[in-house]
Amino acid sequence: MLGSGKGSNFVAIADAVAAGKIPAQIAIVLSDVENSGILAHARERNLPAQFIPPGKFRTKLDEDAERAFVKALQDAKVDLIVLAGFMRVLKGDFLRAFEGRIVNVHPSLLPSFPGLESWKQALDHGVKVTGCTVHFVDAGIDAGAIIDQQTVPVLDNDTAESLHQRIHAAEHELYPKCVAAIARGEIAVQGRKVIWKK
């Protein structure tokens, strides 16, 4: 798993693995942020956790960093890469190394509000319903095939903070469910469409 922040989605997935709800193991946790919550949570659970410096760019990994991430993931023999609040865009060599095997959670109903602070974008736009999306990662920004989505109503008295909290709670239900389905081989990808076989 890869993340840059608090790691609450990591916790939801690690708890689901520990409870036997996801037939998989978390092989390694990597972060581009040294003091991130996700690394702390992983270490509390005695899982391999590693900080890899991202290099000179702000929104992507530089070449050395990309190579180091790919090597760490290949050495850990991962089958699936789960992005949980990883705030850098993955590019060419990384995507090619793990094509079709990277998933992400995003805090909006894609294709609405890609990019940063999507809950704020939703609030500012005045939509009545937003939510979260789990999707495969491709070369676009928050653009790959959608695995599943969960809606969250926008309330009249919502602040960015209160809406973000409810979206987070929805992510913690949706993401483990999607990862479990992938681990069980229950989803098939047909172009942009993801079919749930069960």
List the catalytic residues.
Answer: 106
The residues in 51-90 that bind ligand GAR, with binding defined as CB under 6 A, are 84-85
Residue 130: which residues within 8 A CB-CB, separation 6 or more?
A: 108, 109, 112, 113, 118, 119, 122, 151, 152, 154, 163, 167
Q: Which of 2, 9, 26, 39 is close enough to bind ligand GAR by CB under 6 A?
A: 9
Is there binding between residue 168 and ligand GAR (CB under 6 A)?
yes
One residue of 1, 2, 3, 13 binding ligand GAR per CB under 6 A: 3
Of 166 and 168, CB closest to ligand GAR: 168
| Closer to ligand GAR by Cβ: residue 7 or 54 | 7
The count of other CB atoms within 10 Å of the CB of residue 92 is 10
Determine the angle formed by the axes of helices 160-183 and 118-125, rounding to 10 degrees. Answer: 130
Q: Where are the alpha helices (DSSP H) in the chain?
A: 8-18, 37-44, 63-75, 92-97, 118-125, 160-183
Chain positions 170 to 189 lying near ligand GAR, rule: CB under 6 A, are: 171
Where do contacts with ligand GAR occur on this chain (CB under 6 A)?
3, 5-9, 38, 84-85, 105-107, 142, 168, 171
